[in-house]
Chains A and B, each alone.
Chain A
Amino acid sequence: NAGVTQTPKFQVLKTGQSMTLQCAQDMNHEYMSWYRQDPGMGLRLIHYSVGAGITDQGEVPNGYNVSRSTTEDFPLRLLSAAPSQTSVYFCASSPRDRVSGAFFGQGTRLTVV
């Protein structure tokens, strides 16, 4: 049971480059979300989805796009990377209709130079 899988684990980008952080879950969870964590800080919500075809903004959505075409996948796109987006990114999934905690991936460490 893989849970929540994030790829890549590490990435270095140049300012202005674009890339997609991948997130997949195999638990058939309705909810998926993306967080970023800067050094010494707590997690901040970027975007989330309550099901396929539905996405919404979190606390810090600027500079990021998401889409949810399937239940399993929730990619996060950086259209034009900036040094301020250097961070560790976590993806999470959770079920909608029962009381349960969220499951987090192991993170993608992104550096923008």
Chain B
Amino acid sequence: DAKTTQPPSMDCAEGRAANLPCNHSTISGNEYVYWYRQIHSQGPQYIIHGLKNNETNEMASLIITEDRKSSTLILPHATLRDTAVYYCIVRVQGSQGNLIFGKGTKLSVKP
């Protein structure tokens, strides 16, 4: 599986967009980029995934560079409830059964 690199922490003002980067320079052609988040003490929550096209759902947008070596998770209007640790994971389809979590990015949304 491709290794990912994320900044350990980021701050964002409430109501502003939060842009969380992830580097995955060794990603293979059949590997997807998945994002999860973990709000304090809760179970991780799946957010979004993508292969090569940009994706959007009700929670976030995912922008993947053309060479697929990096991606950005965008929370368009961050709220205090978005304060969490965000994990970027690269895996092939149908292989979410044995995830290896890195340290993720601790996003702090401030009023």
Contacts and interface: CB of A to CB of B under 8 A. Distances in A.
Interface of A: 4, 30-33, 35, 42-45, 48-50, 56, 58-59, 88, 90, 92, 94-107
Given A99-B49, A101-B49, A103-B46, A88 B100 contact: no
Top 3 A-B pairs, shortest CB-CB distance = A101-B46, A31-B97, A104-B43
A106 B98 contact: no
Which of B32, B34, B43, B101: most chain A Cβ within 10 A? B43
A7 B100 CA distance: 24
B42 A94 contact: no
Contacts of A45: 98-100
B76 interface: no
Contacts of A96: 94, 97
Interface of B: 32, 34, 36, 38, 41-47, 49, 85, 87, 93-94, 96-104
Contact of A33 (B36, B98, B102, B104): B98
Contacts of A97: 94
Nearest to A45: B98
A107 B43 contact: yes
A101 B96 contact: yes
Contact of A106 (B32, B43, B103): B43
A52 B19 CA distance: 40
A107 B36 contact: no
A104 B16 CA distance: 28
Nearest to B85: A42
A99 B43 contact: no
